Each structure stands twice: as C-alpha cells, then as structure tokens.
Amino acid sequence: MSVKSVKYSLEERVATVRIDDGKRNALSPLVLGEIYAALDRAESDRAIVILTGRESVFSAGFDLNVMKRGGTNAIRMLRSGYALTARVMAYPYPVIAACNGHSFAMGVFLMLSADYVIGSRGDFNISANEVAIGLTMPRVAAAMLRHRLDPAAFQRAVTLSEYFDPESALNAGFFDELVGPEELMARAESHADKLVKLDARAHAASKRRIRAALIRKIRFSIPLDLFDAMLMGLRGARPR
C-alpha cells in the first residue's frame, strides 16, 4: 500500500494538512489529489485549516519530472494546481498557511491562497521562479502574486524571479507575520484557536464577496494558461 504524501489530523475544529513527500514536496498529480481530498474532509468536518509542509520546505512547486514528460498528465497537473488556488480561496472556513521553509512557484501560489500566512525565519527562499526556468508567468500565478504583494515587489517577483529571504518576504507581502521555526506550528495553532470564535457564516460570505472577481479571473485564466503551456511546450521548463 502506498504511503500518503499529505497527512490529515483533526483536533477540536482545527485540521492540520501537512504535505510531506519525504523530499521537496513537489506538487505531483498524486499530491494535488491528496490535498483536494484533505480539503474536502476538512470542509466536511467544518474545520479551520492549517496548511504546512515538512522540515525546511513548504513546497518546491509543480513536479518538474511530470512537466518535462509533457502530455495529458502534465496538463492535468497544471489544471489541478491552478484550480487549487481558487479552491483554497473559496474554502468556507479560515485557512492558515504555516510556511516552514523554502517555497517556489506553485508552492508560493498555494501558500498565498490562504487567509493568513505565517513564515519561518531561517536560511530559506521564497520565489515565483517561472521566468528563471524559462516559463512566461501564467495568468493565474500573476493574479495570486498581485493579490498579496506590494506593487514594487510584485514587479520584481514576476519579471525578475527575485528570491526573497524570510524578512524581505514579510516586507513584500508574502507573509503576514514571521516567527522562529520552533514557534511556527504553536503560533499557527494559537491563531487558529482565535479564529474558531469567528462567525462562520459571516466569514464565508465576506470571503466570497471580496474574492468573487479574483476567483472568476482565476477560473477564466486556467484554460488560457493551459493553452499557452501546450503552445510553448512543457519540455521547455528547465530544472533548477
């Protein structure tokens, strides 16, 4: 029996969804499917979600081995990943991302889909590095970066593939706060305990109201980004 790369645990009304593939938390089709299943389970449990990674990595982004092979599996992976941003943004209860290390490309966009993002201090980098590996920034990815980053940081992140250390990532808008690595999960759990007190109906309705246009934009952009990927040839992406 295969070992799951996404672990789910529930305590009171707080669900922890931990991505741990034992390596760099690449978002393969299998891992993406497990994240969707964990979110469905958490929603059924009416739970606040803490989304986190393993040791010193949140996620290295899409699985480049799948992308290099191209074909329908790669297209399905891209579609699933891009749509995951809208799924997280529309999740009816609060979502906290606890970024415990490096986060790149699709890992960044998943992280930025959360309602609140806590970063960890350390020798880590945050980067939307599509341009650095030979890809034009997808529309969905650009929309997620614009949603969170200040304008100057947005320009550098998209066009220059800038690598942000934790302090500069905080200043740019990737994180809402920054804590020591040993404090990260305790801080996420403490914040989740406070968010349990929110009125769930008002939270969900307010989230839908302010994000409706962005979610529509993401869903409209997905087929355009997939068409671009097919035109460019997925094999053009170079491993870092």
Q: How would DSSP label each residue in 136-163?
A: PPPHHHHHHHHHHS-HHHHHHHHHH---
Nearest one of 82, 65, 57, 92 to 200, comparing CA atoms: 92
Taking each helix axis from N to C end, the angle separating 139-148 and 71-89, rounded to the nearest 10 degrees, works out to 30
Q: In the chain, pLDDT over 70 holds for what percent of residues?
A: 96
Does the pTM exceed 0.85?
Answer: yes
> Where does 6-182 sit in CATH, by number?
3.90.226.10
On the question of pLDDT at 111 being above 90, the answer is yes
The answer to whether the beta carbons of residues 105 and 157 sit under 8 Å apart is no
**pLDDT (tens digit, 9 = 90+) per residue, 114-157?**
999 999 999 999 999 999 988 899 999 999 999 999 999 999 99
What pLDDT is attached to residue 134? 87
| Least-confidence region, from 49-63, 65-79, 113-127 | 65-79
Q: What is the mean pLDDT of the chain?
A: 94
Q: What percent of the chain has pLDDT over 90?
A: 89
Give Cα 233 distance to the centre of its chain: 24
| Residue 239 confidence (pLDDT) above 50 | no
User: What DSSP assignment string belongs to 118-130?
Assistant: EEE-SS--EE--T
In this predicted structure, what is the pLDDT of residue 234? 54
What are the sequence ranges of the domains in the chain? 6-182
Alpha carbons 53 and 108: distance in angstroms, whole number: 12
Determine the pLDDT at residue 142.
98
Q: How many residues does the chain have?
A: 240
Torsional sign, CA 77, 80, 83, 84 = negative
